[in-house]
Amino acid sequence: MRKYNASKRILVTGGAGFLGSHLVDRLLARGDEVVCVDNLFTGTKRNIEHVLDHKHFEFLRHDVTFPLYLEVDEIYNLACPASPIHYQHDPVQTTKTSVHGAINMLGLAKRTRARIFQASTSEVYGDPVVHPQPESYWGNVNTVGIRSCYDEGKRCAETLFFDYYRQHNLDIRVARIFNTYGPRMHPNDGRVVSNFIVQALKGEDITIYGEGQQTRSFCYVDDLIDGIIRFMDLPRGRDGEPGFPGPVNLGNPGEFSIRQLAEKIIALTGSPSKLVFQRLPEDDPIQRQPDIRLAKDKLNWIPSISLDEGLSQTIEYFDKLLAN
């Protein structure tokens, strides 16, 4: 039986994206062989150009809604646009990416007996009526709204993963990822951290939807990648049975209002930007905060990077990006 502390051949779908490229870096750094798959809809080669010549790295331009035939030991399924601007651009394709992509990657894992990770999302909780959100909460999701292509696509993907786990004894790991930020975010992805930083650095008005009292929890990307890898590296159960499948929340439990975030970014950038307020979008959650007790217990994981520290590093990245 393969030992999970040995060098592995690992497939990362969505590997040229924000989270995927950081995961690729971490896996290469520890000596794994990485196959990065991305259709470059929201990912970019800029995120992986520094590893294109790495002897253990391979890039394959491919859409996961079509089958893929490779020999791999592990699969990290991160392929799907994650920002509202991008996933609402082609909502049918977004749902197909989550559902058909999951079916194709699970089929590959079944054939190769690979351990497989699913990047699920806090959006499966919808606009929650339970706060903070534990994994036992089933959510409050609009099935027919403009965000449903992403929310329901990810919920269906979770269903598929757990059905493969029960029906085919597949070794799955499902993580519900909360708001994550850091270098390599797309400057025009419409997410609140990148939006505010870009607007502040340009000296533009900072756009806040609603009154800015809605809350979010922001996890720096390095902390998140650490949690994902800890999860995947958990050993199997007795007699080679699949290990702990999740779902498990991964996010920073620090809770901030959107207005607080904007004010922090203005202070850190020294920007003259002013706050302007617009109508709250449909189905925008009022509160979002992870209960991470399960991650602490099962993964011995807790985020360590403060919001101020993480924002400073992210601002530095965007400052250089906008200067070019």
Q: What are the tens digits of pLDDT across the range 100-147?
A: 999 999 999 999 999 999 999 999 999 999 999 999 999 999 999 999
For residue 284, pLDDT beyond 80: no
- pLDDT tens-digit profile of 254-276? 999 999 999 999 999 999 999 99
CB-CB contact of 87 with 94 (8 Å) = yes
For residue 2, pLDDT beyond 80: no
CA distance 110 to 165: 10
The pLDDT value recorded for residue 87 is: 76
CB-CB contact of 232 with 76 (8 Å) = yes
CA distance 129 to 141: 11
User: How crowded is residue 279: how many other Cβ atoms within 10 Å of its Cβ?
Assistant: 8
- Would the CA dihedral through 51, 59, 195, 227 be positive or negative? negative
Residues acting as catalytic residues: 150
The pLDDT value recorded for residue 81 is: 82
CB-CB contact of 49 with 41 (8 Å) = no
**Could you tell me the pTM of the whole model?**
0.94
Q: Burial of 272 by CB count in 10 Å (0-12 exposed, 13-18 middle, 19+ buried)?
A: exposed
Q: Domain 9-181+219-252+291-304 sits in which CATH superfamily? A: NAD(P)-binding Rossmann-like Domain (3.40.50.720)
Mean pLDDT of 47-67: 97
For residue 13, pLDDT beyond 90: yes
pLDDT interval class at 1 (50, 70, 90): very low
Coil/strand/helix, residue 139: coil
* Helix residue ranges, H only, the chain: 18-29, 84-87, 91-112, 148-168, 192-201, 221-232, 258-269, 293-299, 307-323
Residues 6 or more apart whose CB falls under 8 angstroms from that of 11 comprise: 34, 35, 37, 68, 70, 72, 74, 75, 76, 108, 114
- pLDDT tens-digit profile of 199-258? 999 999 999 988 889 999 999 999 999 999 999 999 987 777 888 999 999 999 999 999
pLDDT interval class at 283 (50, 70, 90): low
Mean pLDDT of 277-282: 82
Domain ranges of the chain: 9-181+219-252+291-304
The pLDDT value recorded for residue 5 is: 52
Q: Which amino acid makes up residue 140?
A: N
Residues 6 or more apart whose CB falls under 8 angstroms from that of 240 comprise: 1
Half-sphere exposure of 30 (CA within 13 A, CB side): 15
CA distance 288 to 135: 13
CA distance 148 to 95: 9
User: How crowded is residue 50: how many other Cβ atoms within 10 Å of its Cβ?
Assistant: 11
CB-CB contact of 296 with 231 (8 Å) = no
